[in-house]
Structure 1
Amino acid sequence: MSKQVVETPMMKQYNEIKQQHPDAVLLFRVGDFYETFSDDAITASEILGITLTRRANGAAQFVELAGFPHHALDTYLPKLVRAGKRVAICDQLEDPKLTKTIVKRGITELVTPGVSINDNVLNHKENNFLAAVYSANGKTFGISFLDISTGEFLTTEGNKDETDKLLSSFSPKEILIERGSKRKLGEYFGSDYFFFELDDW
Protein backbone atom coordinates (compact mmCIF):
# COMPACT_ATOMS: atom_id res chain seq x y z
CA MET A 1 0.00 0.00 0.00
CA SER A 2 1.46 3.38 -1.02
CA LYS A 3 1.72 6.25 1.43
CA GLN A 4 -0.36 9.38 0.95
CA VAL A 5 1.95 12.24 -0.01
CA VAL A 6 1.69 15.05 2.52
CA GLU A 7 2.64 18.53 1.31
CA THR A 8 4.10 21.06 3.67
CA PRO A 9 2.02 24.27 3.89
CA MET A 10 4.69 26.19 1.97
CA MET A 11 4.84 23.61 -0.84
CA LYS A 12 1.04 23.61 -1.02
CA GLN A 13 1.16 27.39 -1.47
CA TYR A 14 3.94 27.03 -4.06
CA ASN A 15 1.96 24.46 -6.07
CA GLU A 16 -1.17 26.63 -6.04
CA ILE A 17 0.79 29.63 -7.35
CA LYS A 18 2.67 27.49 -9.90
CA GLN A 19 -0.68 26.36 -11.36
CA GLN A 20 -1.36 29.99 -12.34
CA HIS A 21 1.70 30.02 -14.64
CA PRO A 22 2.60 26.40 -15.43
CA ASP A 23 4.72 27.39 -18.46
CA ALA A 24 6.90 29.83 -16.50
CA VAL A 25 9.87 29.29 -14.22
CA LEU A 26 8.52 30.34 -10.82
CA LEU A 27 10.94 32.30 -8.61
CA PHE A 28 9.40 31.82 -5.17
CA ARG A 29 10.58 34.23 -2.47
CA VAL A 30 11.47 32.48 0.78
CA GLY A 31 13.07 34.87 3.24
CA ASP A 32 16.17 36.36 1.63
CA PHE A 33 16.17 33.91 -1.31
CA TYR A 34 14.31 33.20 -4.52
CA GLU A 35 13.81 29.45 -4.63
CA THR A 36 12.84 27.19 -7.51
CA PHE A 37 11.45 23.70 -7.04
CA SER A 38 11.06 20.48 -9.01
CA ASP A 39 11.44 20.87 -12.81
CA ASP A 40 11.96 24.63 -12.43
CA ALA A 41 14.90 23.92 -10.11
CA ILE A 42 16.48 21.61 -12.67
CA THR A 43 16.01 24.23 -15.41
CA ALA A 44 17.35 27.07 -13.24
CA SER A 45 20.33 25.01 -12.15
CA GLU A 46 21.28 24.23 -15.76
CA ILE A 47 20.82 27.77 -17.10
CA LEU A 48 22.19 29.70 -14.13
CA GLY A 49 24.93 27.32 -13.05
CA ILE A 50 23.62 27.20 -9.47
CA THR A 51 23.62 24.19 -7.18
CA LEU A 52 20.73 21.74 -7.40
CA THR A 53 19.79 20.15 -4.07
CA ARG A 54 16.85 18.27 -2.57
CA ARG A 55 14.68 19.06 0.40
CA ALA A 56 12.07 17.16 2.34
CA ASN A 57 8.50 17.82 1.27
CA GLY A 58 6.31 16.14 3.82
CA ALA A 59 6.44 12.47 4.73
CA ALA A 60 9.05 10.44 2.84
CA GLN A 61 9.12 12.71 -0.20
CA PHE A 62 11.84 14.96 -1.56
CA VAL A 63 11.73 17.76 -4.12
CA GLU A 64 14.53 19.35 -6.17
CA LEU A 65 15.55 22.83 -5.04
CA ALA A 66 17.79 25.56 -6.46
CA GLY A 67 17.90 29.15 -5.31
CA PHE A 68 19.82 32.38 -5.11
CA PRO A 69 19.84 35.47 -2.85
CA HIS A 70 17.04 37.93 -3.63
CA HIS A 71 19.53 40.76 -4.19
CA ALA A 72 21.00 38.76 -7.12
CA LEU A 73 17.72 38.84 -9.09
CA ASP A 74 19.12 41.41 -11.53
CA THR A 75 21.99 39.03 -12.29
CA TYR A 76 19.96 35.84 -12.75
CA LEU A 77 16.68 37.07 -14.27
CA PRO A 78 18.26 38.21 -17.57
CA LYS A 79 19.97 34.83 -17.98
CA LEU A 80 16.67 32.97 -17.69
CA VAL A 81 14.86 35.33 -20.07
CA ARG A 82 17.66 35.30 -22.65
CA ALA A 83 17.49 31.50 -22.56
CA GLY A 84 13.89 31.86 -23.76
CA LYS A 85 12.18 31.22 -20.43
CA ARG A 86 9.09 32.95 -19.14
CA VAL A 87 9.68 33.87 -15.50
CA ALA A 88 7.01 34.46 -12.85
CA ILE A 89 8.34 36.33 -9.82
CA CYS A 90 6.50 35.47 -6.63
CA ASP A 91 7.17 37.77 -3.68
CA GLN A 92 6.17 37.81 -0.04
CA LEU A 93 3.23 40.20 0.23
CA GLU A 94 3.44 40.73 3.97
CA ASP A 95 6.10 40.99 6.62
CA PRO A 96 6.85 37.48 7.95
CA LYS A 97 7.37 38.96 11.43
CA LEU A 98 3.75 40.12 11.52
CA THR A 99 2.09 36.77 10.83
CA LYS A 100 1.86 33.55 12.81
CA THR A 101 0.83 31.51 9.77
CA ILE A 102 2.40 31.01 6.36
CA VAL A 103 3.44 34.27 4.69
CA LYS A 104 1.06 35.51 2.00
CA ARG A 105 2.73 35.38 -1.44
CA GLY A 106 1.72 36.32 -4.97
CA ILE A 107 3.01 36.91 -8.48
CA THR A 108 4.33 40.47 -8.70
CA GLU A 109 5.83 40.32 -12.19
CA LEU A 110 5.76 38.06 -15.25
CA VAL A 111 8.80 38.55 -17.47
CA THR A 112 9.03 36.92 -20.89
CA PRO A 113 11.54 37.24 -23.74
CA GLY A 114 9.14 39.56 -25.58
CA VAL A 115 7.59 41.40 -22.65
CA SER A 116 10.06 43.08 -20.36
CA ILE A 117 10.72 46.58 -19.12
CA ASN A 118 13.55 45.47 -16.87
CA ASP A 119 16.70 47.41 -17.81
CA ASN A 120 18.88 44.41 -17.03
CA VAL A 121 16.95 42.22 -19.48
CA LEU A 122 16.63 44.70 -22.35
CA ASN A 123 19.37 45.41 -24.85
CA HIS A 124 19.10 49.17 -25.44
CA LYS A 125 20.80 48.90 -28.84
CA GLU A 126 17.96 46.89 -30.39
CA ASN A 127 14.19 46.56 -30.25
CA ASN A 128 12.61 43.94 -28.03
CA PHE A 129 9.69 42.88 -30.20
CA LEU A 130 6.90 40.56 -29.15
CA ALA A 131 5.16 39.14 -32.23
CA ALA A 132 1.87 37.37 -32.77
CA VAL A 133 1.25 35.22 -35.84
CA TYR A 134 -2.03 33.66 -36.90
CA SER A 135 -3.24 31.86 -40.00
CA ALA A 136 -6.58 30.17 -40.50
CA ASN A 137 -5.63 28.56 -43.80
CA GLY A 138 -1.81 28.32 -43.94
CA LYS A 139 -1.70 30.71 -46.92
CA THR A 140 -2.42 34.16 -45.49
CA PHE A 141 -0.88 35.16 -42.17
CA GLY A 142 -1.81 37.97 -39.82
CA ILE A 143 1.22 39.27 -37.96
CA SER A 144 1.81 42.00 -35.42
CA PHE A 145 4.86 43.34 -33.62
CA LEU A 146 4.91 45.19 -30.31
CA ASP A 147 7.83 46.65 -28.40
CA ILE A 148 6.49 47.69 -25.00
CA SER A 149 9.76 49.42 -24.13
CA THR A 150 9.32 51.93 -27.00
CA GLY A 151 5.58 51.76 -27.69
CA GLU A 152 6.04 50.69 -31.31
CA PHE A 153 3.15 48.62 -32.68
CA LEU A 154 2.91 47.33 -36.24
CA THR A 155 0.47 44.97 -37.88
CA THR A 156 -0.05 43.56 -41.36
CA GLU A 157 -0.91 40.42 -43.26
CA GLY A 158 0.80 38.56 -46.04
CA ASN A 159 1.69 35.20 -47.49
CA LYS A 160 4.19 32.78 -45.97
CA ASP A 161 7.24 34.30 -47.70
CA GLU A 162 6.31 37.87 -46.72
CA THR A 163 5.69 36.79 -43.13
CA ASP A 164 9.02 34.95 -43.06
CA LYS A 165 10.83 38.10 -44.27
CA LEU A 166 9.12 40.22 -41.62
CA LEU A 167 10.08 37.77 -38.87
CA SER A 168 13.68 37.74 -40.10
CA SER A 169 13.77 41.53 -40.29
CA PHE A 170 12.16 42.29 -36.92
CA SER A 171 13.76 39.35 -35.05
CA PRO A 172 11.09 39.10 -32.34
CA LYS A 173 12.25 37.83 -28.96
CA GLU A 174 9.01 35.86 -28.56
CA ILE A 175 6.14 34.87 -30.86
CA LEU A 176 2.63 34.26 -29.57
CA ILE A 177 0.79 31.58 -31.52
CA GLU A 178 -2.40 29.58 -31.30
CA ARG A 179 -2.12 26.43 -29.18
CA GLY A 180 -1.42 23.42 -31.37
CA SER A 181 0.22 25.36 -34.22
CA LYS A 182 3.83 25.35 -33.00
CA ARG A 183 5.01 22.43 -35.13
CA LYS A 184 3.47 23.78 -38.34
CA LEU A 185 4.72 27.35 -37.81
CA GLY A 186 8.14 25.98 -36.90
CA GLU A 187 8.18 24.20 -40.28
CA TYR A 188 7.20 27.43 -42.05
CA PHE A 189 9.50 29.86 -40.26
CA GLY A 190 12.20 27.80 -38.55
CA SER A 191 12.78 26.80 -34.97
CA ASP A 192 15.10 29.66 -33.97
CA TYR A 193 12.21 31.60 -32.41
CA PHE A 194 10.75 31.29 -28.93
CA PHE A 195 7.13 30.36 -29.62
CA PHE A 196 4.56 30.58 -26.84
CA GLU A 197 1.22 28.88 -27.40
CA LEU A 198 -2.01 30.46 -26.20
CA ASP A 199 -5.56 29.18 -26.29
CA ASP A 200 -7.50 30.06 -29.44
CA TRP A 201 -8.33 33.73 -29.53
Structure 2
Amino acid sequence: MGRDKILQRIRSALGESHASEHDRALLDARMDQRPSGPKVALGAERMSQFLTKVIANNFTVERLASQQLLVSAVRALMPDDETPDISVAKAIQSLGWPADWKINYGPGRHVERLCVTQALAGIAETGSVVVASAPDNPTTLNFLPDMHVIVLRAEDVVDHPEDVWARMALENWPRAVNVISGPSRTADVGGIIVRPAHGPKRVHLIVIDA
Protein backbone atom coordinates (compact mmCIF):
# COMPACT_ATOMS: atom_id res chain seq x y z
CA MET A 1 0.00 0.00 0.00
CA GLY A 2 2.85 2.36 0.80
CA ARG A 3 4.27 1.91 -2.70
CA ASP A 4 0.91 2.74 -4.28
CA LYS A 5 0.61 5.90 -2.21
CA ILE A 6 4.08 7.06 -3.19
CA LEU A 7 3.41 6.45 -6.89
CA GLN A 8 0.05 8.25 -6.62
CA ARG A 9 1.73 11.30 -5.09
CA ILE A 10 4.27 11.30 -7.94
CA ARG A 11 1.48 11.13 -10.52
CA SER A 12 -0.40 13.96 -8.82
CA ALA A 13 2.72 16.14 -8.66
CA LEU A 14 3.32 15.52 -12.37
CA GLY A 15 -0.29 16.30 -13.17
CA GLU A 16 -0.76 12.94 -14.86
CA SER A 17 -3.82 10.76 -14.79
CA HIS A 18 -3.73 7.03 -14.37
CA ALA A 19 -1.88 5.20 -17.12
CA SER A 20 -4.00 3.93 -19.95
CA GLU A 21 -4.26 0.23 -20.72
CA HIS A 22 -1.97 0.85 -23.70
CA ASP A 23 0.65 2.45 -21.44
CA ARG A 24 0.43 -0.39 -18.96
CA ALA A 25 0.89 -2.92 -21.76
CA LEU A 26 4.01 -1.09 -22.95
CA LEU A 27 5.45 -1.05 -19.41
CA ASP A 28 4.71 -4.74 -18.89
CA ALA A 29 6.38 -5.60 -22.20
CA ARG A 30 9.46 -3.59 -21.23
CA MET A 31 9.71 -5.43 -17.91
CA ASP A 32 9.39 -8.82 -19.62
CA GLN A 33 11.83 -7.99 -22.43
CA ARG A 34 14.24 -5.41 -21.12
CA PRO A 35 16.23 -3.65 -23.85
CA SER A 36 19.88 -4.62 -24.06
CA GLY A 37 22.66 -2.06 -23.93
CA PRO A 38 25.61 -1.93 -26.33
CA LYS A 39 27.87 -4.98 -26.39
CA VAL A 40 31.49 -5.31 -27.42
CA ALA A 41 31.89 -7.09 -30.75
CA LEU A 42 34.07 -10.18 -30.41
CA GLY A 43 37.11 -10.14 -32.64
CA ALA A 44 37.35 -13.92 -32.95
CA GLU A 45 35.39 -17.14 -32.59
CA ARG A 46 33.88 -17.38 -29.11
CA MET A 47 36.07 -20.10 -27.62
CA SER A 48 39.24 -18.68 -29.16
CA GLN A 49 38.44 -15.24 -27.74
CA PHE A 50 37.64 -16.73 -24.35
CA LEU A 51 40.88 -18.70 -24.07
CA THR A 52 42.97 -15.73 -25.20
CA LYS A 53 41.42 -13.53 -22.53
CA VAL A 54 41.66 -16.24 -19.87
CA ILE A 55 45.39 -16.64 -20.43
CA ALA A 56 45.83 -12.85 -20.36
CA ASN A 57 44.13 -12.93 -16.94
CA ASN A 58 46.85 -15.29 -15.65
CA PHE A 59 44.78 -18.46 -15.50
CA THR A 60 46.51 -21.68 -16.41
CA VAL A 61 44.36 -23.67 -18.81
CA GLU A 62 43.93 -27.16 -20.19
CA ARG A 63 41.25 -28.73 -22.33
CA LEU A 64 39.92 -32.27 -21.94
CA ALA A 65 37.93 -34.28 -24.44
CA SER A 66 35.78 -35.78 -21.67
CA GLN A 67 35.09 -35.19 -18.01
CA GLN A 68 36.15 -38.79 -17.41
CA LEU A 69 39.74 -37.50 -17.77
CA LEU A 70 39.29 -34.95 -14.99
CA VAL A 71 40.59 -37.08 -12.10
CA SER A 72 43.89 -37.83 -13.82
CA ALA A 73 44.24 -34.15 -14.80
CA VAL A 74 43.81 -33.09 -11.17
CA ARG A 75 46.32 -35.73 -10.01
CA ALA A 76 48.90 -34.29 -12.42
CA LEU A 77 48.63 -30.93 -10.65
CA MET A 78 49.91 -32.38 -7.36
CA PRO A 79 53.29 -33.78 -6.25
CA ASP A 80 53.70 -37.48 -7.05
CA ASP A 81 55.04 -38.25 -3.58
CA GLU A 82 51.95 -36.98 -1.74
CA THR A 83 48.62 -38.65 -1.08
CA PRO A 84 46.14 -36.06 -2.35
CA ASP A 85 44.24 -34.21 0.38
CA ILE A 86 41.79 -31.98 -1.44
CA SER A 87 38.26 -30.58 -1.41
CA VAL A 88 35.88 -31.32 -4.26
CA ALA A 89 32.45 -29.81 -4.86
CA LYS A 90 29.64 -32.34 -4.53
CA ALA A 91 28.48 -31.25 -8.00
CA ILE A 92 31.36 -33.30 -9.44
CA GLN A 93 31.63 -35.94 -6.72
CA SER A 94 30.43 -38.78 -8.97
CA LEU A 95 33.39 -38.73 -11.37
CA GLY A 96 35.20 -41.67 -9.82
CA TRP A 97 37.64 -40.04 -7.41
CA PRO A 98 40.12 -42.60 -5.99
CA ALA A 99 39.19 -44.21 -2.69
CA ASP A 100 42.73 -43.79 -1.31
CA TRP A 101 42.66 -39.98 -1.66
CA LYS A 102 41.67 -37.79 1.27
CA ILE A 103 38.73 -35.88 -0.17
CA ASN A 104 36.39 -33.43 1.51
CA TYR A 105 33.07 -32.99 -0.29
CA GLY A 106 31.85 -30.16 1.92
CA PRO A 107 32.78 -26.50 2.55
CA GLY A 108 36.44 -25.46 2.64
CA ARG A 109 38.47 -26.52 5.68
CA HIS A 110 41.17 -23.79 5.58
CA VAL A 111 43.88 -26.45 5.17
CA GLU A 112 43.56 -27.88 1.65
CA ARG A 113 46.11 -26.94 -0.98
CA LEU A 114 43.70 -27.62 -3.84
CA CYS A 115 39.95 -27.34 -4.37
CA VAL A 116 37.91 -28.36 -7.40
CA THR A 117 34.67 -26.55 -8.23
CA GLN A 118 32.13 -26.44 -11.05
CA ALA A 119 31.69 -23.23 -13.08
CA LEU A 120 28.32 -21.91 -14.18
CA ALA A 121 29.67 -20.10 -17.24
CA GLY A 122 32.66 -18.53 -18.96
CA ILE A 123 32.56 -15.05 -20.52
CA ALA A 124 34.41 -14.60 -23.80
CA GLU A 125 34.39 -10.80 -23.68
CA THR A 126 36.32 -10.59 -20.40
CA GLY A 127 37.97 -14.00 -19.97
CA SER A 128 36.15 -14.43 -16.68
CA VAL A 129 34.63 -17.53 -15.12
CA VAL A 130 31.35 -17.37 -13.22
CA VAL A 131 30.91 -19.64 -10.20
CA ALA A 132 27.53 -19.75 -8.46
CA SER A 133 27.14 -20.86 -4.86
CA ALA A 134 24.99 -23.87 -4.04
CA PRO A 135 24.88 -26.61 -1.40
CA ASP A 136 26.87 -28.79 -3.83
CA ASN A 137 29.28 -25.99 -4.83
CA PRO A 138 30.26 -24.03 -1.67
CA THR A 139 31.71 -20.54 -2.11
CA THR A 140 34.47 -21.24 0.43
CA LEU A 141 36.13 -23.59 -2.05
CA ASN A 142 36.78 -20.58 -4.31
CA PHE A 143 38.89 -18.68 -1.80
CA LEU A 144 40.65 -20.97 0.68
CA PRO A 145 43.06 -23.21 -1.28
CA ASP A 146 46.48 -22.42 -2.71
CA MET A 147 45.23 -23.70 -6.06
CA HIS A 148 41.67 -23.32 -7.28
CA VAL A 149 40.74 -25.74 -10.06
CA ILE A 150 37.62 -24.70 -11.97
CA VAL A 151 35.81 -27.14 -14.24
CA LEU A 152 33.93 -25.51 -17.13
CA ARG A 153 31.94 -27.17 -19.90
CA ALA A 154 32.77 -25.69 -23.31
CA GLU A 155 29.07 -25.35 -24.07
CA ASP A 156 28.72 -22.96 -21.10
CA VAL A 157 30.97 -20.28 -22.60
CA VAL A 158 28.91 -17.22 -23.61
CA ASP A 159 29.78 -13.99 -25.38
CA HIS A 160 28.96 -11.29 -22.81
CA PRO A 161 28.21 -10.86 -19.08
CA GLU A 162 24.61 -10.01 -19.92
CA ASP A 163 24.20 -13.51 -21.35
CA VAL A 164 24.99 -14.97 -17.93
CA TRP A 165 22.47 -12.73 -16.13
CA ALA A 166 19.79 -13.62 -18.68
CA ARG A 167 20.43 -17.30 -18.04
CA MET A 168 20.22 -16.81 -14.28
CA ALA A 169 16.94 -14.92 -14.63
CA LEU A 170 15.40 -18.14 -15.95
CA GLU A 171 16.54 -20.10 -12.90
CA ASN A 172 16.61 -19.64 -9.15
CA TRP A 173 19.21 -17.00 -8.32
CA PRO A 174 22.07 -18.35 -6.18
CA ARG A 175 22.99 -16.97 -2.78
CA ALA A 176 26.29 -15.66 -4.15
CA VAL A 177 27.87 -15.26 -7.58
CA ASN A 178 31.65 -14.99 -7.98
CA VAL A 179 33.07 -13.66 -11.23
CA ILE A 180 36.69 -14.84 -11.24
CA SER A 181 39.27 -13.24 -13.52
CA GLY A 182 42.43 -15.05 -12.44
CA PRO A 183 44.50 -14.93 -9.25
CA SER A 184 44.00 -11.78 -7.19
CA ARG A 185 46.38 -8.86 -7.61
CA THR A 186 47.00 -5.46 -6.05
CA ALA A 187 48.99 -2.34 -6.85
CA ASP A 188 48.26 -0.53 -3.58
CA VAL A 189 51.90 -0.28 -2.50
CA GLY A 190 54.04 1.92 -4.74
CA GLY A 191 51.93 1.16 -7.80
CA ILE A 192 53.68 -2.20 -8.14
CA ILE A 193 51.46 -5.11 -9.17
CA VAL A 194 51.72 -8.03 -6.75
CA ARG A 195 50.16 -11.46 -7.44
CA PRO A 196 48.50 -13.01 -5.57
CA ALA A 197 47.28 -10.45 -3.05
CA HIS A 198 45.00 -12.89 -1.22
CA GLY A 199 43.17 -16.12 -1.91
CA PRO A 200 44.44 -18.80 -4.31
CA LYS A 201 47.96 -18.35 -5.64
CA ARG A 202 46.96 -20.13 -8.85
CA VAL A 203 43.67 -20.55 -10.71
CA HIS A 204 43.66 -23.50 -13.10
CA LEU A 205 40.81 -23.78 -15.60
CA ILE A 206 39.89 -27.16 -17.08
CA VAL A 207 37.58 -26.87 -20.11
CA ILE A 208 35.59 -30.00 -20.87
CA ASP A 209 34.89 -30.15 -24.58
CA ALA A 210 32.28 -32.95 -24.49
**TM-score normalized by the length of structure 1:** 0.25
- Kindly name which structure, 1 or 2, has the bigger radius of gyration based on alpha carbons: 2
Q: TM-score, normalised by structure 2?
A: 0.25
Higher RCO structure, 1 or 2 (CA under 8 Å, sep 6+): 2
